[in-house]
Amino acid sequence: MDLNNIMNELVKKHPGELEYHQAVREVLESIEEVVNENPQFESAGIIERLIEPDRVLSFKVPWMDDEGKVHVNLGYRVQFNNAIGPYKGGLRFHPSVNLSILKFLGFEQIFKNALTTLPMGGGKGGSDFNPKGKSDNEIMRFCQAFMLELYKIIGPETDVPAGDIGVGGKEIGFLYGMYKKLQREHTGVLTGKGLGWGGSLIRPEATGFGTVYFAKEMLATKNETFEGKTVALSGFGNVAWGAALKIEEFGGKVVTLSGPDGYIYDPAGITGEKIEYMLELRATNMDVVAPYAEEFPEATFYEGKRPWEVKVDVALPCATQNEINEQDAITLVENGCICVAEAANMPSTPEAMHVFLNSKILFGPAKAVNAGGVATSGLEMTQNAMKLAWTREEVDAKLHQIMVDIHEACVKYGTQKDGYVDYVRGANIAGFMKVANAMLDNGVI
Ligand code: NDP
């Protein structure tokens, strides 16, 4: 495989899509060796076909605010690859959303979904709409307008979107309501649904729970556990919330959380009533981090900073892409951090990732670490198809087993000659082999 040539062609075709280029390069670098060992992939053009989405739908979303003023946002759905199952991946509503970010996320999703062992292809979508500060009625009108276009290309056996940044249970409810009205059918077309209308128990916590299950397996390879460990989390959304609960259950202490405006350091630990308090604040659709330090005086708010300067044993970035740069990574390692597990998608810059890998600390990449979210979405799809609902214990046990299996696959493909487990390589190769073989079996389509 001529990696540089493939990357040059990609950059030429899609200039300026930096996150997309970054994600493709990272995967290609780590699978280069196995591609070269399997000439059938090259002759079938597997790489060239894999790095381009199957299709991209882009549309305008006009909606009216509470004052009667009309706004126009952009909406997208990237259907990346369906070699092993229907397209599957979240919707992100955030002002930073553009095609490059959605293509990076959709590309990563292919391998993540393959790792779960469930039959799901890769996709992603979203809008540059900002739910922050909007009323529930405005969010509803936006979601309805968004679905008026999206419904044309999704379906329970075709493409099954879910939540992501800015899209939680409330937004999924509004989107599902409109889909149902347009299609006149009650099917499992979205995941992350409410429990009373097709949702799965554990789905809201699943990405955070799965992250901690995976990190627990990583720590176990060094005969370590969460017991007594300090943990830095960033963000405080769908993902960080579940992670905080599970870390507490495993005896660890979460000492930071963050928002775009800065971070909170609470040496006493962010547990119990404090987590409840944060959830209440989040429900207001406003910036939520700073008020924490006013409510709990033992905590300090550091404006405009990121939590990676705090001395901790474990770091779980749970906010957004490229939120740990090279210097942050150096600081974490110098402060004795032994494990970084990426709960957010691509939170480490390539330079930061190299710092972690070169220092040989435990480093888990997003596509393995946070796969518990989509895996539980897959379990929601299964329950919808069977028209049955599993208990909390059943779903949690399946999620736990999936995370243990993903960890095992990473160890299988990522263990180096010196015994160090390169989870980045392990996850990329394990996911790639499954998808590439399915593409070969399906012929040139
Ligand atoms: P949420 O919107 O629920 O939470 C994101 C959190 O990060 C919020 O607390 C937000 O603060 C904060 N945040 C956003 N941007 C920044 C920034 N630039 N700097 C610091 N903090 C920031 O999203 P999710 O929890 O759903 O998603 C978080 C990450 O996890 C994303 O990378 C997503 O792709 C990934 N992920 C999510 C899954 C899921 O099941 N939800 C599944 C797999 C991956 P504020 O609200 O104040 O803006």
CA distance 353 to 330: 10
Count the neighbouring beta carbons within 10 Å of the beta carbon of residue 348: 29
Whether the predicted pLDDT of 7 surpasses 90 = yes
Rounded mean pLDDT of 75-89?
98
Q: Domains in the chain, start-ordered, CATH in brackets?
A: 53-186 (3.40.50.10860), 206-369 (3.40.50.720)
Strands 339-341 and 362-364: parallel
Whether the predicted pLDDT of 423 surpasses 90 = yes
Predicted confidence at residue 227, as pLDDT, reads 98
Helix, strand and coil percent figures for the chain, each rounded to 5: 50, 15, 35
Nearest CA to ligand 1 atom 3: 237
Instruction: Please enumerate in sequence order all residues whose Cβ is within 8 A of that of 297, keeping only pairs 6 or more positions apart, or say none.
Output: none
Write the pLDDT tens digit of every residue in 220-229: 999 999 999 9
Q: Give the model's confidence band at 287: pLDDT under 50 very low, under 70 low, under 90 confident, else very high.
A: low
Predicted confidence at residue 320, as pLDDT, reads 94
AA letter at 217:
E
CA of 344 to the centre of ligand 1 (A): 7
Six-digit token pair at 28? 């290609």
Q: Kindly list the distances between the CA atom of residue 42 and the CA atoms of 39, 47, 81, in Å, as whole numbers in the listed order.
A: 5, 7, 18
Predicted confidence at residue 281, as pLDDT, reads 84
Predicted confidence at residue 285, as pLDDT, reads 67
| The ligand 1 atom nearest the CA atom of 257 | 9
DSSP type of residue 136: H
Whether the predicted pLDDT of 265 surpasses 70 = yes
| The ligand 1 atom nearest the CA atom of 286 | 47
User: Do 165 and 94 meet the contact criterion of CB atoms below 8 Å apart?
Assistant: yes
Helices (H) and strands (E) in the chain, counts: 17, 12
Return phi, psi of residue 320, to 5°. -160, 180
In the block, tokens 């736990």 appear at 400
CA of 94 to the centre of ligand 1 (A): 10
CA of 238 to the centre of ligand 1 (A): 7
Predicted confidence at residue 289, as pLDDT, reads 87
Nearest Cα residue to 189 out of 373, 396, 391, 377: 377
Whether the predicted pLDDT of 82 surpasses 70 = yes
Mutating to test ligand 1, I would choose from 104, 236, 320 the residue with most ligand atoms within 8 A of its C-beta, which is: 320
Q: Which residues participate in catalysis according to the annotation?
A: 124
Angle at 305 between CA 303 and CA 307, to 5 degrees: 120
User: Do 239 and 366 meet the contact criterion of CB atoms below 8 Å apart?
Assistant: no
Six-digit token pair at 113? 């979904």
Rounded mean pLDDT of 125-147?
97
Nearest CA to ligand 1 atom 34: 345
Six-digit token pair at 380? 């929601």
Strand ranges (DSSP E) for 343-438? 362-364
Nearest Cα residue to 124 out of 346, 388, 438: 346
* % of the chain beyond a pLDDT of 90: 95
CA of 208 to the centre of ligand 1 (A): 11
What is the average pLDDT value for the chain, to the nearest integer?
Answer: 96
Beta strands across the sheet bearing 300-303 = 300-303, 262-265, 253-259, 230-233, 314-316, 339-341, 362-364
Whether the predicted pLDDT of 284 surpasses 80 = no
Among 103-117, 199-213, 251-265, 276-290, the range scoring the smallest mean pLDDT is 276-290
Ligand 1: lining residues by beta carbon, under 6 Å:
163-166, 207, 235-239, 258-260, 287-288, 318-320, 323, 343-345, 370, 373
Whether the predicted pLDDT of 100 surpasses 80 = yes
Q: Give the model's confidence band at 351: pLDDT under 50 very low, under 70 low, under 90 confident, else very high.
A: very high
Q: Give the model's confidence band at 282: pLDDT under 50 very low, under 70 low, under 90 confident, else very high.
A: confident
User: Do 6 and 35 meet the contact criterion of CB atoms below 8 Å apart?
Assistant: no
Nearest CA to ligand 1 atom 28: 319
Q: What is the CA radius of gyration of the chain?
A: 21
CA of 286 to the centre of ligand 1 (A): 14
Rounded mean pLDDT of 307-328?
97
Write the pLDDT tens digit of every residue in 23-38: 999 999 999 999 999 9
Rounded mean pLDDT of 168-183?
97
Which helix (H) or strand (E) segment holds residue 260: the answer is none
| The ligand 1 atom nearest the CA atom of 207 | 40
Strands 122-127 and 70-81: antiparallel
Instruction: Please enumerate in sequence order all residues whose Cβ is within 8 A of that of 52, keeping only pairs 6 or more positions apart, or say none.
Output: none
**What's the chain's length in residues?**
445
CA distance 120 to 103: 17
User: Do 210 and 203 meet the contact criterion of CB atoms below 8 Å apart?
Assistant: no
Q: Which residues pair with 161 in a beta bridge?
A: 89
Predicted confidence at residue 206, as pLDDT, reads 96
In the block, tokens 């729970």 appear at 209
Beta strands across the sheet bearing 55-64 = 55-64, 70-81, 122-127, 87-93, 159-162
Nearest Cα residue to 210 out of 169, 243, 253: 243
Rounded mean pLDDT of 78-86?
98
Rounded mean pLDDT of 149-169?
96
Nearest CA to ligand 1 atom 30: 344
Whether the predicted pLDDT of 414 surpasses 90 = yes
User: Do 186 and 196 meet the contact criterion of CB atoms below 8 Å apart?
Assistant: no
Write the pLDDT tens digit of every residue in 205-255: 999 999 999 999 999 999 999 999 999 999 999 899 999 999 999 999 999
